[in-house]
Amino acid sequence: MSAIDEKGRLAIDIAALRRRLTSDRDMWRSLDEIAGTADFRRFVETEFPAIAERLPARPNRRTLLKLMGASLSLAGLAACSRAVSIVPYVRQPEILIPGKPTYYATTLSSDGFGIGAIVESHEGRPTKVEGNPDHPASLGGTDAVMQAAVLMLFDPDRSRTPLKNGEPASYGDFLKDMAGLVSQWTASKGQGGALLIESTTSPTLAAQLDALRTRYPKLKIYRHDPLAAPGSAEASRALFGAALTPVYRFNRTETIVSLDADFLGEGPGRLVYARDFAARRRVRSPSDRMSRLYAVESTPTITGAAADHRLAIKPSEMEAVAARLIAALSGQAGTSRTSIDQTWMTALVDDLKAAGHSALVVPGAHQSAFVHAAAFAANASLGALGNTVEFIEAPDALSVDGDLEAMYEAIGLKAIDTVVVLGANPLYTEPAGLDVQKAFSSVKLLVHHGLYRDETAFLAHWHLPAAHELESWSDIRAYDGSTSMVQPLIRPLYDGKTGHELLAVLGGAFDTDPLLLVRQHWTELDDDAWRKALRDGVIANGAAKPVSVTVPPDLAGLKPAAKAGTGIDIRFVADPWLRDGRFANASWLQELPRPLTKIVWGNAALISPATAERLKVGNGEAINVACDGADIDAPAWIVPGHPDETITLSIGFGRKVGSVALLSGGYDAFQLRRGSQWFATGAAITLRKNSMRVITTQQHQAMEGRAIVRHASLDAFRQNPDFVRTDSPSAPTESLYPAWPYKQEAWAMAIDLSTCIGCMACVSACQAENNIAPVGPDECERGHEMHWLRVDRYYAGPVDAPETFFQPVPCMHCEKAPCEVVCPVNATVHTHDGLNAQVYNRCIGTRYCSQNCPYKVRRFNFLEHQSFDKDEAGPEQAVHNPNVSVRSRGVMEKCTYCVQRISAKRIQAQIENRDLADGEVVTACQQACPTLAITFGDRNKKDAKVVREKSAPQNYALLEELNTRPRTTYLGKICNPNGKLAKPGEATDG
């Protein structure tokens, strides 16, 4: 929503912005805000700006009567819906109590690795995913993709039947054709056959592949992983002679250096790493210690946003930085030239040496083998091996005959005439320069196994629907080598088959049970151990044992492979929610704002303010990006803190199939990406004459010019623990609003901004828990998104290198709530335990409450986003939480502190004749948070954790000068900068 001139360029002078930001105290959310563009002013000054555009400035009498009539009609219809027929069980299961959910442990896959989950099920219907506290890869936390698993399960676009040459066929027909293939492979020992698999850590699947190799010695097995990051494995093979994987212990660190590693947002261990990192950043008294994070990165990430010191450099410079770091740690004069200031490097090295074995250097997963080797060597020289970093055998190690490119070449040489694709979608994820469609069109038989009829399935001779993870039996390893079980929550909706079943068919077993296929692999587990593994979600004592390693002094001859480019570098990244595009049909993920850009329903080409200024390109203007003979058109988007002369392109968009995926905009970066590269140099950018739509929520619900995020350095906190009160208005002591008695509970929440990393897990969990409808790209562009909880992203400081802050904003549940007194029908009420409740069937849609809310946390249903017609009901409605009402058009809705969870725990305590225990009620956002940044509880319990959090000296209320007395408060953000690089500045607020 930026100001665009007649040529599509951003009407902002970057140089003028730099002059305006004269103080690091300045806090802002977007370039439009600090420029004061007309577009931003419109959003701030108009309560519902998109509606104001549609209505005349001075509506006439006829228009007013229309609006009044519409509101009265909605008042009558808001609580009405058609009755639904309910059919009881013929024979009710003994363990099932209607209305009482059951919970099962299972494991969800993340880029081939397992993350433990607890799934809530209502009468056999999975509705909500939570983290498994006992699983080493989640510890109870989740992310947005895990939350969307139930939505993908009930996606009406899922493949529903086997297809032969594009026409529906039976599974029996498929087995007959596979019997002929098995006979052929048996006679030829697999000659001409090939399997194309995805990245996997399943022990059962690996055993099945080994069995197929034994049965068919000439069968080829290839792996296609578009998100592959081979640098670590290549470095470990060169240094240690085996493919090893590092496991980091952030809870033991004092000083951390990230070499382009987004360990808080990427990788199979991200949830645990975020938890451990936050544990060393939690400060409650001036005597507490904090770790310190230095980040050198080639594109903005949430890890860089959490850093105490951050430098943005071109991707082609990262190897030189790693070489310079190694030289500095060894006391040698480095020959590598980088853009890093010597003072900065000296302070970083001194901090690492002072920390010693508590230091940690983390290489980015996508970085080259040299950067990984340099990081391993740095950790070895600091004595960190065995303390903050350990090495284990790679959980995803699998013997294959090559990648997609190798298979492409084999097909071209006529060495392969039959291909079986398990799960992958190479026709979409193929690298630039490969014509996989042409290659697959030349084979005699192409079999595709997948969840959707995707691009590859359309070309296949046979397409077999896959079972969803929540419908499957399997096993999988976590980032630390732990083995977990995958058990189904529901029978396959469309008779989908697991990958294990398909491999069993290829091995000649045509009547298989997916449970037996997995159980037969784990013969060492007796029945009791098997049941315990299913109940716990993880096999006890299954983590891989650390391997002792020694780093050779010459890094085994590894040298920097790249030279700093003189042109524009390209940084490829996977979309945080859609990943390689496999989740593109999940509306929750499409509509979830990206943490830093707040872009939804599409992607953009990210560039720095200085590069935009040089190229004279603005937000939303179409540019052509060309590199190595390929090119794409993309909308530009200016990102503060982005490295200069670098453009970031995200993969996962531009899909051509799927009803939801087709709604999103953006470009397909796979068309420009060659091989498994994550960086490219020598790109050329050409301005087009048109603009392209980019939808961002960064200016919606703006609270301009207020003391929003309050922050200070650790030294400043020690000198002034009450820094949040400095130069900040305080709340009046008197109020005309009524005083509410709280004889039982008084619910309250505290959010620690020092440990919030902006990962958006809380927003996604709130949506899944509370049946929040996605509204689509058009409504998002108008500012009508329905998320009850948002995470605001703020910047402070100069546009080229600002600090970044995140602030979750749910309903404040004010004791003196301004929304309650203006509702004409008493739909907004105060409960006995301090909640600002919304009575949906009273609401007539006046929106007075929203206009009177200073926090902008109320959402109005402008359109009918949910279907209430039983004739139109689809499987997607099964995802709804039965304990939360489904709202219709004309109703105002908001955060309820998960009142349904409060009620359930209160009823249980009453049945057991006891008081609610502290921590017994857990809200959805709190439960999902991987860093434990959110605390919820009863404020009347003096020993409650939420009371202790609110008694911290840096606790403050948002807009407390308005005297609304919010139940939700914040702990000011505290960082730990190095005094040699930045003065421990005064406490600041935005």
- Give per-residue pLDDT as tens, 95-146: 777 888 999 999 999 999 999 999 999 988 999 999 999 999 999 999 999 9
- How far is residue 3 from each of residues 10, 30, 37, 637, measured CA to CA in Å? 6, 12, 6, 12
Q: Cβ distance 140 to 927 under 8 Å?
A: yes
Task: Tell me the one-letter amino acid at 618.
Answer: G
DSSP 396: T
Confidence of residue 871 (pLDDT cuts 50, 70, 90): low
* Residues 109, 477: Cα–Cα separation, whole Å: 9
Lowest mean pLDDT among 237-251, 287-301, 320-334, 787-801: 320-334
In the DSSP assignment, the letter for residue 32 is: H
Residue 464 has pLDDT above 80, yes or no: yes
Place of tokens 């987004």: 262
Average pLDDT rounded to a whole number, residues 871-889? 84
**485 three-class SS:** strand
Domains in the chain, start-ordered, CATH in brackets? 46-54+699-734+746-985 (3.30.70.20), 103-243+394-522 (3.40.50.740), 247-391 (3.40.228.10), 568-696 (2.40.40.20)
CB 814 within 8 A of CB 967: yes
Write down the pLDDT at residue 749.
97
Q: Mind listing the pLDDT tens digit for each residue in 788-821?
A: 999 999 998 888 899 999 999 999 999 999 999 9
The predicted pLDDT at position 588 comes to 96
Is residue 670 within 8 Å of residue 603, measured between CB atoms?
Answer: no
Q: Above 80 in pLDDT, residue 986?
A: no
Percentage of the chain beyond pLDDT 90 is 77
pLDDT at 988: 39
Inform me whether the pLDDT recorded for 50 exceeds 80: no
Beta strands in 156-208 (DSSP E): 163-164, 167-168, 193-197
pLDDT exceeds 60 at position 952: yes
> Residue 642: is its pLDDT beyond 80?
yes
pLDDT at residue 701, as a whole number: 58
92 CB-near residues (< 8 Å, 6+ apart): 98
Which DSSP category does 431 fall into? P
Is the pLDDT reported for residue 432 higher than 50?
A: yes
Say yes or no to pLDDT of 77 above 60: no
pLDDT at 531: 94
The string of pLDDT tens digits covering residues 821-856 is 999 999 999 999 989 999 999 999 999 999 999 999
Q: Is 375 within 8 Å of 368 (Cβ atoms)?
A: no
pTM for the structure as a whole:
0.91
Where residue 375 falls among pLDDT bands split at 50, 70, 90?
A: very high
Residue range 922-941: mean pLDDT, rounded:
96
Element (H, E) at 3: none
User: Is the confidence at residue 334, as pLDDT, over 80?
Assistant: no
In angstroms, rounded to a whole number, what is the distance separating the alpha carbons of residues 75 and 73? 5
pLDDT for the residue numbered 3: 41
* Residue found by looking up tokens 């802002």 in the block: 28
pLDDT score for 38: 62
Q: Is the pLDDT score of 72 beyond 60?
A: no
Residue 563 scores a pLDDT above 80: no
pLDDT value for 874: 73
Please give the pLDDT value at position 726.
Answer: 84
Secondary structure of residue 457 in the 3-state scheme: helix
Binned at pLDDT 50, 70 and 90, residue 869 comes out as low
Average pLDDT, rounded, for the chain: 88
pLDDT at residue 57, rounded to an integer = 42
Cα 399–Cα 405–Cα 406 angle in degrees, nearest 5: 50
Reduced to 3 states (helix: H, G, I; strand: E, B; else coil), residue 876 is: helix
- Give the model's pLDDT for residue 350: 95
CA-to-CA distance for 147 and 194, rounded, in angstroms?
35
Tokens of 735: 């109020």
Q: At what angle do helices 203-215 and 499-506 cross, to 10 degrees?
A: 10
Query: 606: closest CA among 643, 636, 634?
Result: 636
The helix/strand/coil state of 731 is coil
Short-list 919, 878, 887, 879, CA closest to 901: 919
pLDDT band at 15 (very low <50, low <70, confident <90, very high): low
